[in-house]
Amino acid sequence: MAPPLREFHVLAKPAGAACNLGCTYCFFLSKENLYPKDSFLMDDATLESYLRQLMDSSPGPQVEVSWQGGEPMLRGLDFYRRAVALAEQYRKPHQKLQHTMQTNATLVDDEWAAFFRENNFLVGVSFDGPQALHDLYRVDRKRQGSFEQVLRGWNCLRRHDVEVNVLCTVHAGNADHPLEVYRFFRDELQAQYIQLIPIVERGTMQTIRFANQGWGGLKGKDRPLYRQQGSVASARSVPSDKFGAFLIAIFEEWVKRDVSRVFVNTFDVALGSWLGQHNSCVVSPTCGASLALEHNGDVYSCDHFVEPEHKLGNLKETSLQTLVGSERQRRFGNAKSDTLPQYCKDCPVLFACYGECPRNRFIEAPNGEPGLNYLCAGYKAFFTHIDAPMKTMAALLRQGRYADEIMVAAAAAQAAAASA
C-alpha cells in the first residue's frame, strides 16, 4: 500500500535566478552559479511533468501553483497560458486551483494584468515602502531605483481588479520607519494584505565582504554562490532589536484601527500561534513542507536552501511525491526541532516562534549554546509585547465572535484617556 500523501508547497522558478533588477540584498541572484551554462528558462517538458506530478501528489482539495524567481515574468506570457491550461488538464475533479506569482511588477502591462484577472491569480508585489526607502536597495542593473516602474505595475494590476498583496522586506534601510512604511501601503497603495520579511544576509569573515558589496552589483566569478553559512550578518541585514521595534510599532497602529481591514501576515500567523495553530513553517516546530523547484526540474529542500547539499533530486528522474516524502527531507524538516537550543526550549514565547527559520539560527545563546536565531531578541520583544491583545483576540474567536471587536475596547480606552 502506498504511503499517504503529505501536505506540501512548491515554489517553482520558471526563469531560475534570472531577473531584470539587481536588488542589492538579493542573494538569490547568485544561484545562477549552480547552472552556469543554462538559459534559466523552464522548458515545456519540465512544465508538463511538474504540473502533472503536482496534481497527482497533492492530498488536499486546494492546490496552489506558485511561481517565483528571480523574476518569473521573464518566462513570458505564453508560458503561463500553457501552464494554466496544463494545470486544468491534470487537475483532479475534487481539486481547486489557486495560481500565485511573486513579482517585482516592473514588466506588468494591460495584457499581463488581464491574464492574471481572467485566471484568478494572486499576485504578490515586492515593495519596500515609499520611494526613498524602496529605492535604497531595490534597483535595476544600472543601480537606478525601481519604484516608479513597480508603482506603475501595481496600479495596472489594481486597474484590472487583480488580487494583489505587498511583500515588504525589512532591512537596515527602512527599519527605522515602520509607520511610514505601513501607512504608505495602507493609505497610498490601498493594500489589504501585507507580508513583512526580514532581510538577514549571513556569511563568514571571508565571504561577508561579497554580501556587503551588494549581490546585484556583482557578476560571474565576482558573485560567489550564497550559502547559509557563517555567523556574520551583512550591513544591510535588519538588526534584531530594530526588527522587533518595527513590528511592535506597526502592530500598535494595526490593533487599534485595522484588525480585519488590513491583513498583516506576521500578525495573522501570530494569532494562529495563540490559538494553538501553526500557520507558517517559520513558526512551526518542524518544517520541510515548503520546497523549491528550479527551472530544469531540480527540487531543493527549501527556497532558502537552494544549495548543492540540499538538492533532493530531479522530478524528471524521481517523482515529486517520492522527493517530498523522502527520509532526507524528513531529516531536514525535523532538524529544526532537533537542533533547537535549550535557551529556546525554556523561553516563555517558544509556542509563537519555535526558533523561527533555521536559515537565521547562527548566533550563540547567552550561555554560549550555538544555533540561536539572529532575530531572537526582536521576536522575543515582539511576542511578549503582543501577548495581552493576542489573548483577547484568541478568546473572542473561541467564543465565535470576531477579532476586530478588540478595537472597540481600544477606542473606549483611548476616549477615556482623552477625557481624563
Summarised one tens digit per residue, pLDDT across range 213-255 is 888 776 666 778 899 999 999 999 999 999 999 999 999 999 9
Please give the single-letter amino acid code of residue 403: A
- 243 vs 334: CA distance, rounded Å: 27
Secondary structure class of 255 (helix, strand, coil): helix
DSSP 185: I
User: Looking at per-residue confidence, does 276 or 416 come out higher?
Assistant: 276
Q: Residue 232: how many CB atoms within 10 A of its CB? A: 18
Q: The dihedral of CA 130, 133, 134, 135: what is its sign?
A: positive
What number of residues does the chain have?
Answer: 420
* Cα–Cα dist 75/95, whole Å: 26
Mean model confidence pLDDT for the chain: 94
Element (H, E) at 170: strand 163-170
321 phi/psi in degrees, rounded to 5: -60, -40
For 270-300, the pLDDT digits (tens) are: 999 999 999 999 999 999 999 999 999 999 9
Give 5-59 pLDDT, tens digit per residue: 678 999 999 999 999 999 999 999 999 999 988 889 999 999 999 999 999 999 8
**Cα(150)–Cα(127) distance, rounded to whole angstroms?**
8
pLDDT (0 to 100) of residue 221: 63
| pLDDT above 80 for 410 | no
Q: Tell me what pLDDT residue 223 has.
A: 77
Which among 92, 283, 119, 259 has a CA at the least distance from the CA of 192?
A: 259
First to last CA, the chain: 71
Q: What is the pLDDT of residue 2?
A: 46
Widest distance between CA atoms in the chain:
72
Q: How far apart are CA 307 and CA 30, in angstroms?
A: 11
pLDDT in tens, 93-110: 999 999 999 999 999 999
The per-residue pLDDT for 220 is 62
Cis peptide upstream of residue 244 (ω within 30 degrees of 0): no
pLDDT at res. 224: 86
Catalytically active residues, by annotation: 303
For the stretch 349-391, pLDDT in tens is: 999 999 999 999 999 999 999 999 999 999 999 999 999 999 9
| Distance between CA atoms of residues 294 and 316, nearest Å | 12
Place of cell 495563540: 274
> Is the bond preceding residue 69 a cis peptide, omega within 30 degrees?
no
- Pair 233, 37: CB distance under 8 Å: no
Residue 224 identity: P
Helical H runs in 217-318?
A: 240-257, 265-274
pLDDT at 415 (0 to 100) = 67
The C-alpha angle 100, 106, 109, rounded to 5 degrees, equals 80
Q: Based on the number of CB atoms within 10 Å of its own CB, is 123 exposed (0-12), middle (13-18) or buried (19 or more)?
A: buried
DSSP-derived 3-state class of residue 245: helix
Choose among 154, 41, 39, 29: nearest CA to 104. Answer: 154
Cβ atoms within 10 Å, residue 36: 7
d(CA 95, CA 409): 42
Answer whether 0.85 is exceeded by the pTM: yes
Q: How far apart are CA 412 and CA 414, in angstroms?
A: 5
* Cell numbers found for residue 299: 527540487
Buried b (16+ CB within 10 A) or exposed e, 280-316: bbbbbebbbbbbbbbbbbbbbbbbbbbbeebbbbbbe
C-alpha cell at 132: 526613498
Distance CA(401)–CA(353), nearest Å, equals 26
Dump strand ranges (E) for 249-321.
Answer: 263-264, 290-293, 298-300, 311-314
